[in-house]
């Protein structure tokens, strides 16, 4: 449900705020973008994916983000 995605967003953002250097950060950004997509916020999701690619260009999550951006999803 939308409430679940909203709760997940809060949790993911809290993790990044507490530990911005966490090795899981690229995956967390990808999860944030997925939540934003589910919450019908495609512009926010796109911005999050672009941020992920810019911050962690060599990560597996960035490769997935590039695919999502190129597919327009």
pLDDT at 72 over 80: no
Q: How many CB atoms lie within 10 A of CB 4?
A: 10
* CA dist list (Å): 63 to 27, 40, 55, 58: 11, 23, 12, 8
Give pTM, 2 decimals: 0.92
Closest CA to 53 of 30, 73, 72: 30
Residue 73: per-residue pLDDT: 57
Q: How many CB atoms lie within 10 A of CB 17?
A: 8
Q: Where are the beta strands (DSSP E) in the chain?
A: none
The DSSP letter of residue 22 is -
The residue with greater pLDDT, 43 or 1, is: 43
């Amino acid at each position: 449900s939308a409430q679940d995605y909203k709760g997940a967003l809060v949790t993911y953002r809290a993790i990044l705020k507490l530990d911005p250097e966490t090795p899981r950060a690229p995956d967390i950004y990808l999860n944030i973008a997925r939540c934003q997509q589910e919450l019908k916020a495609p512009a926010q999701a796109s911005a999050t994916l672009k941020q992920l690619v810019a911050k962690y260009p060599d990560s597996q999550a960035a490769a997935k983000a590039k695919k999502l951006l190129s597919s327009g999803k």
